[in-house]
């Protein structure tokens, strides 16, 4: 498996995973469930590790695709520049979630088992703070993914490549000419039959 393939496969994990974990966190807040919040926090921490892999495979992937015909060099640069900010956003989300989990619940879960009194072990501010970071991260990841898609997917540009555009113009002109001729002919036939 080459690095470009690894980059393309793994970059979808945080793009889908962060909104999924955010939804899990919203459910945990709504149901006042520390178990759901814990699952969301651990998911954010794991996604922070995955996004490091995605970012590190980006540069080798660039080396493989930058000389392929049809690849937009400026799109690669835009994707790479914004990916750095998306990386920082997801790492911040994962760090706050992971540290919060370990400080307020994790060490008890890992060392002594579950807390018996059933009370919340997380401070009130932690879940909303992680959720806010997750929403920012989701937006940044989505935009980074769009920029990455623009490297090879010309449909994001809103314009066809020049050669295809010229062929399309000629075909459109032929269709208009055919429509004019057939439209006049139909009009005459209708007029003659009517």
The predicted-structure confidence for 121-135, as pLDDT tens digits, reads as follows 889 999 999 999 999
Residues in the chain: 194
Q: What confidence category does residue 65 fall into, taking pLDDT thresholds of 50, 70 and 90?
A: confident
Q: Is 69 exposed, middle or buried (0-12, 13-18, 19+ CB in 10 A)?
A: exposed
Q: Are 79 and 150 in contact (CB under 8 A)?
A: yes
Each residue's pLDDT tens digit, 28-40 = 999 999 999 999 9
- Give the mean pLDDT of 156-183: 52
Instruction: Using alpha carbons, list the distances in angstroms from residue 17 to 20, 40, 90, 156.
Output: 5, 10, 11, 23
156 has pLDDT over 50 = yes
86 has pLDDT over 90 = yes
Q: Residue 135: its pLDDT value, please?
A: 98
Worst-scoring range by mean pLDDT, 1-10, 30-39, 92-101? Answer: 1-10
From 40, 15, 45, 14, select the one nearest 28 (Cα to Cα).
40
From 63, 138, 17, 158, select the one nearest 149 (Cα to Cα).
158
Q: What confidence category does residue 116 fall into, taking pLDDT thresholds of 50, 70 and 90?
A: very low
- Per the listing, tokens 């900010």 go with 85
d(CA 24, CA 19): 9
- Give the mean pLDDT of 154-183: 53
Percent of the chain, pLDDT > 90? 49
- Dump the DSSP string for 89-104: HHHHHHHHHHHHHIII
Q: Are 144 and 86 in contact (CB under 8 A)?
A: yes
Q: What confidence category does residue 175 fall into, taking pLDDT thresholds of 50, 70 and 90?
A: low
d(CA 131, CA 102): 17
d(CA 93, CA 40): 11
Q: Residue 8: its pLDDT value, please?
A: 86
């Amino acid at each position: 498996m080459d690095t470009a393939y690894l980059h393309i496969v793994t970059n979808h994990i945080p793009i889908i995973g962060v909104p999924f974990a955010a939804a899990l966190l919203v459910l945990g807040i709504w149901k006042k469930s520390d178990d759901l919040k814990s699952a969301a926090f651990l998911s954010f921490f794991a996604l922070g590790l995955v996004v490091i892999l995605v970012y590190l495979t980006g540069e080798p992937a660039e080396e493989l695709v930058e000389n392929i015909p049809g690849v937009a060099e400026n799109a690669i640069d835009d994707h790479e520049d914004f990916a750095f900010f998306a990386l920082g956003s997801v790492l911040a989300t994962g760090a706050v979630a992971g540290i919060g989990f370990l400080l307020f619940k994790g060490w008890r879960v890992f060392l002594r088992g579950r807390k018996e009194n059933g009370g919340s072990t997380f401070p009130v501010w932690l879940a909303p703070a992680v959720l806010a970071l997750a929403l920012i991260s989701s937006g940044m990841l989505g935009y980074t993914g769009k920029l990455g898609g623009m490297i090879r997917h010309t449909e994001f540009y809103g314009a066809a490549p020049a050669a295809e555009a010229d062929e399309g113009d000629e075909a459109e002109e032929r269709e208009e000419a055919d429509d004019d001729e057939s439209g006049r002919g139909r009009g005459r036939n209708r007029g003659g039959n009517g």
